[in-house]
Structure 1
């Protein structure tokens, strides 16, 4: 991901940067694209074709704004956009045009700041949600053997600290002050490509997935790696995203590339409790309100809902071509999905990516 821009963009899709940003208000919303496949969607599913290069999402604590990060196009397009949508209708409320491309995303507990990773440039940006202005930015100094920045991909906010995973070999996790965006520490020796980050309230530990098939357990008090799990042993694996069922102490870990599976692990020991043979899965979310697990299956063009006890598939939504990231509302009754178009050989796409809203209680 740090070797070439196209390679970085493609890996960002799987694991899925004083700022010259321009803000546009809802007076000039982005054009609505006709819903050509609306008749094929269930009544509880809304789909909006939005823009190229959509990745992660964040929902305001008040539930009145859905933010979507966008890298825009990768062919002859500079910069990206952060879109602000109405979570109920998916209509555009505003947008921030940034000089760097946006991938990972998280939001502050008060909803005043959205943080994005600028993966291609090895940095992160903080954006004021009240006016769309970029407040601050940090570009990490690390470079690979070709002089290119480490890709800053996944970002997690906990207790005023941002954890940012580096897609590099060897990789690391930057520990950043959320107010100043200054680097406080580095969690080094993180294996090949940090792809997923998860904070557990139960164990008070940070869990880090990497492209070498490992899960790292990090103590945030000293930023030391306490345990290194390799749940599939010597079998090739590129572990991606992590979700947790805190009541049963289970971690759900996806692999969309090599092992093509979803692992169910004991959160304390890393022991494999079950391996779900559903095919490769990308994003994963656990819903304690409905006791369900959600998975995106990129190649199959589906989003699955699993019963969290039996792990059987309860429901499947066809969302072609490539469902990517997931976001769950605070009340557990709405699931948001970004759906990506496939890349052409020249790294263009044949149309805009989409945002999907699924009403789970209908």
Structure 2
């Protein structure tokens, strides 16, 4: 993410009644959104009784109060995406293109021209669209993941990163240089509310299990924000206790009790109690700690250490780094995602114009694929899950 300064950013076999009531019971949600969320239930069988989590009104019910990633099991694709071809979409920040990789052959099969400085490829909440964040082009380019074709760009200012509220009601543009969180219509991207922030470099986030708040990293001022989802307001702010801190990716633990924030200058992840929002502690992982990705069984989290060409494997049960994999010949592993079957970790090589495919059982490099210049927030798609919270693919 520091390159932002230099490169300038969803039923037949299911018990639909209970789900539909949970989705349509909130007056803030349209029938269309409720239908979309219901459709995403098809991939994962809900528990015999409602989960004991009082979620954000309109949010699809939590499947398992002990695991926020319960809908992300291997190959459990939503009916919405089950027929989409499996691809890896790589935004090349300096080339103003998106490289499309066939994960079966490890080859680039298409290069799509987009706007200036594409930073991330983001799956929409309803899973139907991929949005390319053209940061300096001040546009979002939609890609139809069924056909792989790009549509007409939508004007959006400073779209460094993009998220969606768990109820599917709003898209949230992380306007990093504008110092704003901009809540927009998730389909038209029309501005609904702007929340100015006093920190600098808002870029990554993740939501609490109940969806009622989210934690945001501010890269350039080394700060964290806590934001009330319904009110769309910042309710907490703190400076990280490390001189020169540059927080990056944010990810919640499976049990929903802890947030982890990667920090490329502190060379580790900050461990934060999101509810209390008290001072976090630092867990060293490696130089240039950057991206955070949870395994399909929710047991470990892959941490890309961009500054040393390694991936740390953090064990949630042990609360520590259990192993570290080194890319042969080095590299600059940045952002990406896990394959639908959970067997391959895909990461962009930010400084090396390449993409890495890594075996999640052994850490072995399976492929090193040349792409455009400055590859950044690549999206592996489709992935398991009922709906998307944004970024390169945060599914629940």
| Alpha-carbon offset, residue 326 of structure 1 | 2.8
Q: What pairs with 1:146-225 in structure 2 (closer than 5 Å)?
A: 151-158=158-165, 159-168=168-177, 171-211=179-219, 212-225=221-234
| Alpha-carbon offset, residue 310 of structure 1 | 2.1
Aligned equivalent of 1:311: 319
**Conserved 8 A contact 2:154-2:189:** yes
Q: Give the 3-state SS of the residue equivalent to 1:120 in structure 2.
A: coil
1:111 and 1:223, CA in 2 relative to 1: closer, same or farther beyond 3 A?
Answer: closer
Structure 1 vs Structure 2 CA RMSD = 3.0
1:323 and 1:299, CA in 2 relative to 1: closer, same or farther beyond 3 A?
Answer: same
Aligned equivalent of 1:323: 333
**Conserved 8 A contact 2:347-2:356:** yes
> Which structure carries more strand by proportion?
1
Q: Distance in 2 between matches of 1:337 and 1:166?
A: 24
Q: Distance in 1 between matches of 2:150 and 2:137?
A: 19
Q: Distance in 2 between matches of 1:11 and 1:256?
A: 18
Deviates further, 238-247 or 223-232: 223-232
1:268 aligns with 2:285: no
Q: Distance in 1 between matches of 2:113 and 2:237?
A: 40
Aligned equivalent of 1:135: 152
| Alpha-carbon offset, residue 229 of structure 1 | 3.1
Using the size of structure 2 for normalisation, the TM-score is 0.64
| Alpha-carbon offset, residue 302 of structure 1 | 0.6
1:302 and 1:138, CA in 2 relative to 1: closer, same or farther beyond 3 A?
Answer: same
1:268 and 1:177, CA in 2 relative to 1: closer, same or farther beyond 3 A?
Answer: same
| Alpha-carbon offset, residue 155 of structure 1 | 1.4
Q: What is the aligned residue count?
A: 286
Structure 2 unaligned blocks of 5 or more:
10-77, 364-396
Equivalent in 91, 115, 138 of residue 70 of structure 1 = 91
Using the size of structure 1 for normalisation, the TM-score is 0.69
**Conserved 8 A contact 1:126-1:135:** yes
Structure 1 unaligned blocks of 5 or more:
13-58, 141-150, 343-351
Q: Give the 3-state SS of the residue equivalent to 1:112 in structure 2.
A: coil
Q: Distance in 2 between matches of 1:248 and 1:174?
A: 25
1:117 and 1:245, CA in 2 relative to 1: closer, same or farther beyond 3 A?
Answer: same
Q: Distance in 2 between matches of 1:222 and 1:8?
A: 31
| Alpha-carbon offset, residue 291 of structure 1 | 0.9
**Conserved 8 A contact 2:300-2:314:** yes
Deviations, residues 106-150 of structure 1 (Å, cap 9, x unaligned): 11355431101111223322222325122341132xxxxxxxxxx
